[in-house]
Structure 1
Amino acid sequence: MKVDGVDKFLAGVEKWTSEKSTKPDFGARVFKISHDEKGDRLTWVRVTGGKIATKDVILGDQKANQLRIYNGTKFTVAQEVTAGGICAIPGLTGTHPGQGLGGETDAAIPAIQPVLNYAVDSKDNEIHICLDALRELEDEDPQLHVSWSEHLQEIRIQIMGEIQLEILQQILLDRFHLDIGFGEGSILYKETINQAVEGVGHFEPLRHYAEVHLLMQPAPRGSGLTFDANCSLEVLGKNWQNQVLSNLGAKEHLGVLTGSPITDMKITLVGGRASIVHSVGGDFREATWRAVRQGLMMLKERNECQLLEPWYRFRLEVGQDQIGRAMSDIQRMSGQFDTPDTGVDQTTLTGVAPVSEMQGYIQEVRAYTHGQGELECVIDGYRPCHNADDVIATKDYHPVSDLENTPGSVFCAHGAGYPVQWEDVPEAAHVEYTYSRDEFMKMTNK
């Protein structure tokens, strides 16, 4: 660079910008997680208000034992960092990019979510070493979702596409010296519900007791899962209610159509029962998870569960003589498009289409336009699956056989626990249902 105009540029910045005002109370936002050469976890923060000093308590009971100011790979230790400053804090756990500390709020959840699922081929590497490396990368970038199946002894990752996959493969090789591969990518489906239901879970082996009633309601598309409680403290104590809400958010709940994650629903604790003598926290974990699955099975029987798939919003530019081919392709993919915008030489087509159908379409575009066409795709969220019956049949998922996510309950009689299938739980439940079938219909039709 010739460094011409730098002084004028800086003068312009000084003239046309103003310094952001800061609050006197401490606030900071986490913007990165990394690990140093010794493997120590570093939480990088930008101080947005007040100051942070060594030994300050900043998250729960965790203290900032050291404040590092980095310059490349080297750092100096500071005693305090004021508003506007950046530092790295070693040793903190439970932090993540976008998290607010002190008086600072959390950043917005990223709008783009992974839509593809890949199995990891560890090749000649120890599978658990690969898992540890991927977990470390997941800690640094929450957009990388890593899951481990103990039953299948398999690692799966959720990412956006093949380019991200190549980058991940190179990072694993350069940083961890792991040469791994990936299986063929599959679409990351999700499941939701179309009608409200009250799910019931009961867990009562000998000397244990918990029953949980959950109202499960459909929510707007893209809203994810929300949890709430609307239960009298006289019915279920505050401690037990907190246990239920905590356990709802403690795992990824799977649907009963294909075993895909559930989304877009509100789950509310509306009833339950505990035993003064026998109930412990783990009992409510079991009852809560079983209640979710039992409610989903009730809706599956009524054909009120729905499979969702990711859709692309696309912008396709082709020659005027090729627009007919492009429109025919989009219709074949079960997509939708707006009225074509015709220019001098090129015609632009915009619309939406399922990721499963449009994946790899860029190669076709390049072929029939002889390299002149352009296709841009961005994730447009989840919509009802265009070929749900085919996907469900291919997945061949049996929810009752999924013992890690069982919809059944455990009751006790004559001093011994016995299993009760999900369809028999309503009659065996110890607590009466809070809502009737007609009330569920009214909730759904609001």
Structure 2
Amino acid sequence: MHLLNLGILAHVDAGKTSLTERLLYSVGVIDEIGSVDHGSTRTDTLALERQRGITIKSAVVSFPVDGATVNLIDTPGHPDFIAEVERVLGVLDGAVLVVSAVEGVQAQTRVLMRTLQRLRIPTLLFVNKIDRRGADGERVLRAIRGRLTPAIVPMGAAHGPGTPGARFVAGLGAGAVDVLADHDERLLEEYVEHGALSPSTVREALAAQSRSALVHPVYFGSAITGAGVDALIFGIRDLLPPAGGDPDGPVSGTVFKVERGPAGEKVAYARMFSGTLRVRDRVPFGEGPEGGAVREGGRGRTEGRVTAISVFDHGTDVRVDAVPAGRIARLWGLADIRIGDALGEPRKDCGHLFAPPTLETVVVPGIGADGRRLHTALTQLAEQDPLIGLRHDEVRQELSVSLYGEVQKEVVQATLADEFGLDVGFRESTVICVERPIGTGAAVEFNKKGANPFLATVGLRVEPAPAGAGVGFRLEVELGSMPYAFFKAVEDTVRETLGQGLHGWQVGDCAVTMTHCGYSPRQSHAHQGFDKSMSSTGADFRGLTPLVLMAALRRAGTRVLEPMHRFRVEAPADTLGALLPVLAASRAVPRTTETRGAVCVLEGEVPAGQVHVLGRRLPGLTRGEGEWESAFDHYAPITHGAVPERPRTDHNPLDRREYLLNVTRRVGS
């Protein structure tokens, strides 16, 4: 069966959810088109999505096209929910990027297109809203070529743009051959030799290059009136590649969404890349191969039994006994499943496609809100969105969550109220920094020696690693020198402990090497059972590792870094006098300046903590004509003021006495 897993992506309000509705209507899946304004769309099911008219959670719906089945995934457009888009991109065969014919190429459009190109995902562009006043197809085409990619092939033109009767007239222009010939020397030779190419040759070249993400066909239309949508449907069928994968191969899939069912059970949305998964199969899942490295803060692999499966078909989902490679399915029974987990054999991990969240806020319980219920509710939300990054400070009895932006606060607040009956508020958002080692440090504690109260020997060395490397764990001791479970306990504890460095921030980009190990073998008194007071257990290694690791890290030293955004400002040139001092006061550093007639374009970098303020002030500084675009770029050392400290939420292994009191309830001599 011909399958295609398709993503619909766009800047917020470009009309992608309306386009989804029109596609479902055009192929006969729904009898009436839902309205974003009226909160009646098929894919926006959350109450807040219907109230605000924006997509917050990705949604899957299926429709047929001439014998082919398209699994369509509607994704959020607002930058605060970019993590949802990140998870979807890894399971797509192709994408439609929606651009508004009125607003044109916007900030999020550029971010999405750069990522689609980096991942080489075949992409069609749909210029929406040609029926709206101010629509200008030629202007948008120029913006696409200049700000997104020159490798575009207009599939026709908009006639009567800016009027209710605007329509799409199909037809390849003369420039299409030039674009296609840039990527195919044989096509260029044939064109030069004969002075023209047959329509069938052009169509074949267009399909091949579109499926290889070398060129991007562009359609014009209106999701509201339906103009151009039929042509887009044929483009989806003919110009995007079908899903691949061997159904007889080893089971391999990726979980891109987790939700709770009516009874509170976990339901995982997974794309199968290989093999066939059946009901009652036991399947390993997690972040990496058994015993191998996992992502920073990861947990390794576990196993579960699939109790039920459903797949998407003709606008609904149906229960099945098995799901083969290429399909998207909902899976029941995997109680410990998380978003991002690999099912079966892990595929090569491409890491985060978008930035990590750079803000956090303390959740303040309202009057009558129960702290335990709030913790349980936030834990469930973190399961559905791991980047929420729930932190529990037991000393201060505070719960914190990570954010991409202020709109996420409204979503968390509304979700807690609607789904859990909890009233909460928030403190002012603060920036999330990170720590990196600046040197090499080592420490060791020996079993039954000195003040070590644990029946374990652990030696660790910490040293810097290249930017973006995460946390690596290596052994300088023989793997057979003690039970594997003890090595696993040390590695897992190292990753967990590095969640809070010398200043309380997550430590990354470092290599940790185990240099010493030792244990007390299993012992017992005569005619008696196992005596754990004489024998090492995993708890001994989990207890000792934080003390050794923090001692090594203290000797290595760490540097605190803050998140930096790259920014682009386009504003009238005569407003620079007012704009530049504000940028300087916000510690923004312009790297390039370009003047285009009466418009000036500045590009540079700015601390993440200043982005929200600058975006809010820009309209007043530029007579409402300025355009602000920013995205996370890198972490940079803090060079101003005091080094920010983050309150610890662990047992504080930096203070040996306090740590041992908390962990063992006794202090070594």
After TM superposition, the score normalised by the length of structure 2 is 0.56
Structure-2 residue corresponding to 1:384: 637
Whichever residue aligns with residue 263 of structure 1, its letter is: G
Matched, 1:152 2:375: no
Matched with 1:113 is 356
* AA of the residue aligned to 1:164: Q
What do residues 271-291 of structure 1 show as CA deviations (whole Å, max 9, x unaligned)?
133222432211111111111
Change (3 A) 1:221 1:327: farther
Residues 144-200 of structure 1, C-alpha deviation per residue, up to 9 Å, x if partnerless?
A: 111112221111101111022222222222322322111111111211111111133
Establish whether residue 166 from structure 1 lines up as the match of residue 423 from structure 2: no
Aligned to 2:507: 262
Tell me if the contact between 1:130 and 1:178 (Cα under 8 Å) persists in the aligned partners: yes
Question: Which residue of the partner structure matches residue 290 of structure 1?
Answer: 547
What is the aligned partner in structure 2 of residue 244 from structure 1? Answer: 490
Q: Counterpart of 2:277? A: 52
1:133: how far off?
Answer: 1.2
> C-alpha distance in 2, partners of 1:150/1:306?
26
- The amino acid of 1:265's aligned partner reads C
Residue 264 (structure 2) pairs with residue 22 (structure 1): no
CA distance in 1, matches of 2:453, 2:628: 62
Cα deviation code 1:316-337 (max 9, x no counterpart): 1222122244333333333322
Does structure 1 conserve the Cα–Cα contact (< 8 Å) formed by 2:309 and 2:320?
yes
Residues 172-321 of structure 1: pairs in structure 2 closer than 5 A: 172-201=416-445, 208-233=454-479, 238-256=484-502, 258-276=503-521, 277-299=534-556, 304-321=557-574
Q: What amino acid is the match of 1:64?
A: V
1:203 touches 1:209 (CA, 8 Å); kept in 2? Answer: yes
Structure 1 residue identity aligned to 2:564: W
Deviations 1:60-105 (A, max 9, x none): 5421111134679975421122222222112203322232212351
Whether contact under 8 Å (1:294, 1:407) holds in the other structure is: no
Give the structure 2 partner of residue 429 of structure 1: none
Q: Which amino acid aligns with 1:78?
A: V
Q: Secondary structure at the match of 1:297?
A: helix
Q: Among residues 248, 263, 280, which one is paired with 1:38 in the alignment?
A: 263
| RMSD between superposed Cα atoms in Å | 3.0
Please tell me the residue identity of whatever aligns with 1:32.
K
Residue segments in structure 1 that go unaligned for 5+ positions in a row:
421-446
CA distance in structure 1 between the aligned counterparts of 2:637 and 2:235, rounded to whole angstroms: 51
Contact 1:221 1:382 in 2 (8 A): no
Matched letter for residue 267 of structure 2: L
Q: Is the 8 A contact 1:30 1:98 kept in 2?
A: yes
- Distance in 1 (CA, whole Å) between partners of 2:623 and 2:422 is 39
TM-score using structure 1 length: 0.82
After superposing the two structures, state which structure 1 stretch, 226-235 or 121-130, moved more: 226-235
Distance 1:322 1:168 in 2: 38
- 1:130 pairs, out of 363, 374, 381, with 374
Q: Report if the CA contact (8 A) 2:311-2:327 is conserved.
A: no
Is the deviation greater in 69-78 or in 231-240? 69-78
Are the counterparts in 2 of residues 243 and 285 from structure 1 also a CA contact under 8 Å? yes
Contact 2:277 2:323 in 1 (8 A): yes
For the residues of structure 1 that align with 2:270 and 2:594, how far apart are their CA atoms? 46
Structure 1 residue 232: Cα displacement: 2.8
**1:376-426 deviation digits (Å, cap 9, x = unpaired):** 121113111132x5234xx497x8x97433353899xxxx97547xxxxxx
Which one-letter code corresponds to 1:283 in the other structure?
Answer: D
Distance across 2 between alignment mates of 1:136 and 1:18: 36
Higher relative CO (Cα under 8 Å, sequence separation at least 6) belongs to 1
2:623 matched residue in structure 1: 370
200-209 or 22-31: bigger deviation: 200-209
- Matching residue of 1:406: 654
2:68 aligns with none
Distance in 1 between residues matched to 2:646 and 2:327, nearest whole Å: 54
* Structure 2 equivalent of residue 68 of structure 1: 310
> Identical aligned pairs, as a percentage?
23
Q: 1:342 aligns with which of 589, 595, 604?
A: 595
In the alignment, structure 2 segments of 5+ residues that lack a partner are 1-223, 285-301, 522-533
Are the equivalent residues in 2 in contact too, given 1:100–1:106 (CA < 8 A)?
no
Q: Is the 8 A contact 2:591 2:605 kept in 1?
A: no
Distance 1:73 1:126, change over 3 A: farther
Which of 1 and 2 has greater Rg? 2
